[in-house]
């Protein structure tokens, strides 16, 4: 399993404070012995049995967030990522105020990563970090997020050979601008806002750009850029259209 899971699996149903989670019609108290058995099975790594027995229990116990948590954990561990995603989203719909929601958000993020949904995975990792009070889980979330960002921030390299004439320069400018706009949108996706300066995209362990782009129409200079609130001004972009 790529991301550590079970160290953070805390089932409130078998703790001293289960009541805060349960709705009046919940059947959790009736299946607490079964939950304890499933928790022990998971602790021994018998996730297939957890999923099999948990699925059967869910047929008559739809109001147990703890049971859903165990099922999601088992599906994730078995590599059944699509099923894990489905059950995790069901949990979020049914139990939005659950004390286990940080763990579900984390598990959902790991499954989304495994199915190639990196952007959505980052979104749920951020939500999990905001919800959790567990410092160990928070550190694991931060490590997972750094790994995703390292793969996505590939360090775009701009500016190749100099163009030979004005027509080539104009074409090269349009290409460089398209890539620059992509880099700006990437920066906003990860940081939540556009950079104050183009140089900001060179910063950090995994920079968006390896170097600032040169304007082929004005050799020796980079593009003029100005952040304007939740947008930006890039005059060369307008003049090249």
* 84-121 per-position pLDDT tens digit: 999 999 999 999 998 889 999 999 999 998 898 888 88
Phi, psi angles (nearest 5°) of residue 214: -90, 150
Kindly list the domain boundaries of the chain, sorted by start residue: 6-152, 166-239
User: Homologous superfamily of 6-152 in CATH?
Assistant: Tetratricopeptide repeat domain (1.25.40.10)
CA distances from 82 to 19, 74, 167, 169 (A): 31, 12, 50, 48
- The structure's pTM equals 0.55
* 217-231 per-position pLDDT tens digit: 887 788 899 999 889
């Amino acid at each position: 399993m790529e991301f550590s899971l079970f160290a953070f699996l805390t089932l409130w149903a078998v703790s001293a404070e289960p009541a805060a989670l349960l709705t009046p019609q919940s059947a959790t108290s009736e299946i607490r012995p079964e939950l304890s058995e499933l928790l022990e099975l998971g602790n021994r790594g018998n996730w297939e049995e957890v999923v099999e027995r948990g699925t059967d229990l869910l047929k008559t116990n739809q109001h147990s967030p703890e049971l859903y948590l165990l099922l999601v954990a088992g599906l994730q561990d078995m590599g059944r990522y699509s099923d894990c995603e489905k059950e995790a989203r069901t949990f979020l719909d049914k139990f939005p105020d659950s004390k286990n929601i940080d763990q579900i958000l984390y598990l959902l993020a790991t499954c989304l990563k495994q199915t190639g949904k990196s952007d959505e995975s980052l979104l749920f990792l951020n939500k999990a970090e905001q919800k959790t009070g567990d410092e160990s889980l928070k550190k694991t979330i931060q490590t997972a997020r750094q790994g995703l960002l390292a793969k996505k921030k590939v360090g775009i390299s701009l500016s190749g050979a100099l163009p030979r004439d004005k027509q080539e320069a104009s074409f090269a400018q349009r290409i460089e601008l398209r890539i620059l706009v992509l880099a700006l949108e990437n920066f906003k996706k990860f940081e939540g806002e556009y950079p104050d300066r183009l140089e900001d995209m060179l910063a950090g362990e995994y920079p968006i750009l390896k170097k600032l782009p040169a304007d082929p129409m004005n050799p020796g200079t980079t593009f003029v850029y100005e952040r304007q609130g939740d947008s930006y001004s890039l005059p060369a972009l307008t003049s090249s259209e």
